[in-house]
Structure 1
Amino acid sequence: MADLTGTLCRCWRLTCSDGRVFAFTDHDARLSFDGADFSPSDAMTARALEQTTGLSVDNSEAIGALSAAGLTEEDILAGRFDSAAVEIWQVNWSDLSDRRLSFRGTLGEIERAGGAFKAELRGLTEQLNRPVGRLYQKQCAARFGDATCGMNADIYAVDVVVSRIEGAMIEVTAGTAPAEHYAFGTLRVLDGAASGQVVHVRGDRAADGARSLTLWDSVRGLAIGDRVKLIAGCDKRAATCREKFGNMLNFRGFPHLPTEDWVTAYPSGGAS
Structure 2
Amino acid sequence: MASWLDEPLATIALCWRVERCDGVAIGLTAHDLDLVVDGFIYRAAPGMTPSAIQRGASFDAESMDVTGALSGAAISEADLLAGRWDGARVALLAVDWTDPANRQSLGEGTIGAVELKRGVLTAELRGLAAALEAPVVELTSPECRAELGDRRCRVAMAGRRRFARVIAADGAALTLDADEPLPGGWAGGRLRWISGANSGLEDAIGASSGAVVTLRRAPRFDAMGALVEVSEGCDKSIATCAARFGNAANFRGEPYLPGIDLLTRYPGA
Q: What TM-score, normalized by structure 1, do the two folds share?
A: 0.82
Give structure 2 stretches of 5+ with no counterpart. Answer: none
Q: Deviations over 1:30-49 (max 9, x none)?
A: 33334533232236333344
Q: Match of 1:255?
A: 255
Residue identity opposite 1:147 in structure 2? R
User: 2: distance between equivalents of 1:201 and 1:223?
Assistant: 15
Q: Match of 2:124?
A: 120
User: 2: distance between equivalents of 1:235 and 1:79?
Assistant: 25
Q: Match of 1:268?
A: none
> Cα gap change, 1:19/1:119 in structure 2, threshold over 3 Å: closer, same or farther?
same
User: 2: distance between equivalents of 1:15 and 1:187?
Assistant: 23
Query: 14, 29, 34: which one pairs with 1:10?
Result: 14
Query: 143, 146, 152: which one pairs with 1:142?
Result: 146
Report if the CA contact (8 A) 1:91-1:99 is conserved: yes
Q: Match of 1:33?
A: 37
User: 1: distance between equivalents of 2:25 and 2:8?
Assistant: 28
Secondary structure at the counterpart of residue 145 of structure 1: coil
Report if the CA contact (8 A) 2:112-2:124 is conserved: yes
Offset of 1:118 from its aligned partner? 3.3
Q: Deviations over 1:12-69 (max 9, x none)?
A: 1112333332112121233333453323223633334465662222222233444445
Which 10-residue stretch deviates more, 61-70 or 18-27? 61-70
User: 2: distance between equivalents of 1:50 and 1:214?
Assistant: 46
Report whether the alignment pairs 1:153 with 2:142: no
Report if the CA contact (8 A) 1:47-1:60 is conserved: yes
Residue identity opposite 2:241 in structure 1? C
Q: Match of 1:217?
A: 217
Q: Match of 2:172?
A: 168
Report if the CA contact (8 A) 2:38-2:101 is conserved: no
Q: Deviations over 1:207-235 (max 9, x none)?
A: xxxx3222111112233222222111112
> Cα gap change, 1:73/1:246 in structure 2, threshold over 3 Å: closer, same or farther?
farther
> Cα gap change, 1:94/1:21 in structure 2, threshold over 3 Å: closer, same or farther?
same
Give structure 1 stretches of 5+ with no counterpart. Answer: 266-272
Residue pairs, 1:1-272, within 5 angstroms: 1-2=5-6, 6-42=10-46, 44-49=48-53, 54-68=58-72, 70-73=74-77, 75-76=79-80, 79-96=83-100, 98-111=102-115, 117-206=121-210, 211-262=211-262
User: 2: distance between equivalents of 1:98 and 1:196?
Assistant: 35
User: 2: distance between equivalents of 1:219 and 1:117?
Assistant: 23
> Cα gap change, 1:5/1:58 in structure 2, threshold over 3 Å: closer, same or farther?
farther
User: 1: distance between equivalents of 2:233 and 2:8?
Assistant: 57
Which 10-residue stretch deviates more, 157-166 or 196-205? 157-166
Report if the CA contact (8 A) 2:180-2:186 is conserved: no
Report if the CA contact (8 A) 2:16-2:27 is conserved: yes
Secondary structure at the counterpart of residue 155 of structure 1: coil
Report if the CA contact (8 A) 1:10-1:26 is conserved: yes
Computed over aligned residues only, the root mean square deviation of the Cα atoms, in angstroms, reads 2.9
Q: Number of residues paired by the alignment?
A: 261
Residue identity opposite 1:36 in structure 2? F
Q: What TM-score, normalized by structure 2, do the two folds share?
A: 0.83
Give % identity. Answer: 34
Offset of 1:72 from its aligned partner? 3.7
